[in-house]
Amino acid sequence: MATTTSNIDDLIALESSAQLRFYTLGGFDTYVVEKAIDNKEWGRDKTIQLLQFMITSRHRHGLHKEQIIDRIWEDVDQKSGDRDFKVALHGINKVLEPNRASRTDTKYIVRSGLSYQLQSDKVWVDSSAFEEAIILGNDNLHKSDDIARKAYNYAIQLYKGIYLPSRVYMDWTSAERERLQVLALGTYIELAKVELETNAFECIRLCQAALQIDHAWEEAYTLQIKAYLSSGNRPQAIKTYKTCKEILSDEYGLDPLPTTKALINNI
């Protein structure tokens, strides 16, 4: 939900108590109360597209119907666009509010004139919870590492993959996908730093997860080298350095930073 919580347990609890939940990271799933919505229930793919667009644009003020149609169905003429929009919106409302009496106001997608908006305070979206968990983690970092650790771990648990992977070629999802991926990378790295002193193996695992997102993320190699060295595994530290050097050379034509080199030179 859009409510900002100051407590990680409250934030985690919101997920199970929400009436309507959207999972957008690594796939797309909707839960109405406790029921998972099967993709077939949406009917047409255009219905899902419209819902996903409303979720992506939920923090913007109401969008005009024509703007929405132009963004998601670029090639349709106005008449077909209007018809598709009407059918898709009806499809969404039917699934999200199956018991709503006809001619009564909708609860989740609210219309104001010709503008439409998803009521973000009435729904739970994984990407919002992911971001709030990171904020909580950052707020507690170095003050209360246990809370920071719990918050970052919850964020990572929510980040099951890129934002709306089935819409990767649609540019209205690109900015959000990039923003969330960079947040995820940062979270893996921050948590790996927290774990470095106390749990080297977890630090290594987190760095490897970050490298699965971006295999040229030098900081993930640096932390991994430090973790191997702290656990006494010098051969693996050297091997990781060599991989880092090779990847940076292939991708950017660069050498590792002097600070990364120094780790190995000091062995």
Partner 1 sequence: MSNKKDQTASFVVRFTQQIFEDTQGQSDVQWKGKISHVQSDDEKRFTDVSEALNFMQARLADMTKSSTEHVSKDEQKGILNKSLGIWKRVSKEYPKFVMDTIKDPKAQVEHIQGQIQEGLHQVSEGISEKLELNEWQPASKSDYKNMMEMMTTLTTQVSELSKKVDTMSKKSKI
Residue closer to partner 1 by CB (options 104, 259) is 259
To the nearest 10°, the Cα dihedral for 213, 219, 223, 226? Answer: 140
CA torsion, points 61, 72, 160, 215, in degrees to nearest 10?
Answer: -110
What's the min distance (Å) between Cβ of 258 and partner 1?
5
CA distance linking residue 33 with residue 226, whole number of Å: 46
Q: Which of residues 244-263 bind partner 1 (CB under 8 A)?
A: 251-254, 257-259
In the 8-state DSSP scheme, what is residue 129? H
Shortest distance (Å) from residue 259 CB to partner 1: 5
Minimum gap (Å) between residue 88 Cβ and partner 1: 18
User: Where are any strands of DSSP class E within the chain?
Assistant: 20-23, 29-32, 35-36, 63-64, 109-112, 115-118, 124-125
Nearest CB to partner 1, comparing residues 146 and 251: 251
Of 10 and 74, CB closest to partner 1: 74
Tell how strand 29-32 and strand 20-23 pair up: antiparallel
Residue 102 belongs to what H/E stretch? none
Identify the DSSP state of 38.
P
What is the pattern of x (binds partner 1, CB under 8 A) and - over residues 129-168? Answer: ---------------------------------------x
Stretch of 85-93, 121-129, 172-180, 195-203 lying at the interface with partner 1 (CB under 8 A): 172-180
For 37, which DSSP code?
P
User: Cα–Cα distance between 129 and 4 in angstroms, integer?
Assistant: 9
Least CB distance from residue 255 to partner 1, whole Å?
10
Q: How far is the CB of 157 from partner 1 (least distance, A)?
A: 24
Q: Which of residues 23-82 bind partner 1 (CB under 8 A)?
A: 60, 64, 67, 74-75
Binding site for partner 1 (CB under 8 A): 60, 64, 67, 74-75, 168-171, 174-175, 178, 182, 216, 218-219, 251-254, 257-259
